[in-house]
Amino acid sequence: MGDELHVEPAVLHSARQVCEDLGVAWRRDEHGVEPVTEDAAAGLPGWMTGRALGDFVWYWQDDVKKLTGYLETFGDALQRAALTYEHTDHASADLFDIRGR
């Protein structure tokens, strides 16, 4: 017999919340980086450093968008898995509940 797998839907729900909290934190931190970096880039017109800082802001925004999208997708998958396990547990229990039959 193989190893037993035990899944706690509550743990999956909690993990989904962690994904959501991380996404919120990353979006908040993204906005903290942008103004300072954009100001620094604007203060260096014509300099390669200014352009590099401007590029950095764009890449930072793109990476944060991808990361938060992944966290949202992963969190949604955790939530769906938890709901599926809960449904399966209840459906299985109902099969063995002979009261009223």
Residue 59 belongs to domain with CATH number: 1.10.287
Confidence at residue 101, expressed as pLDDT on a 0 to 100 scale: 56
Higher pLDDT, 8 or 100: 8
What pLDDT is attached to residue 1? 60
Mean pLDDT score, 13-40: 90
Task: With beta carbons less than 8 A apart as the criterion, state whether 72 and 80 touch.
Answer: no
Mean pLDDT over 39-45 rounds to 90
Q: Which residue has the tokens 């990353």?
A: 26
Q: Helix-strand-coil percent breakdown of the chain, rounded to 5?
A: 80, 0, 20
* 58 φ, ψ (degrees, to nearest 5): -60, -50
Range of the domain at 73: 11-87
> What are the phi and psi torsion angles at 32 (to 5°)?
-75, -25
Inside any domain, residue 71 = yes
Cα–Cα distance, 41 to 93 (Å, whole number): 62
Identify the pLDDT of residue 52: 95
How much of the chain, in percent, has pLDDT values that exceed 90?
Answer: 59
Average pLDDT over residues 76-82: 98
Q: pLDDT grade, residue 82 (50/70/90)?
A: very high
- Whether residue 43 is contained in a domain is answered as yes
The per-residue pLDDT for 76 is: 98
User: Tokens representing 19?
Assistant: 């994904």
Q: Is residue 19 included in any domain, yes or no?
A: yes
Residue 38 near residue 54 (C-beta atoms within 8 A): yes
Q: Do the domain assignments include residue 99?
A: no
- How many separate domains does the chain show? 1
Q: Is 6 left (phi over 0), alpha (psi -120 to 50) or beta?
A: beta
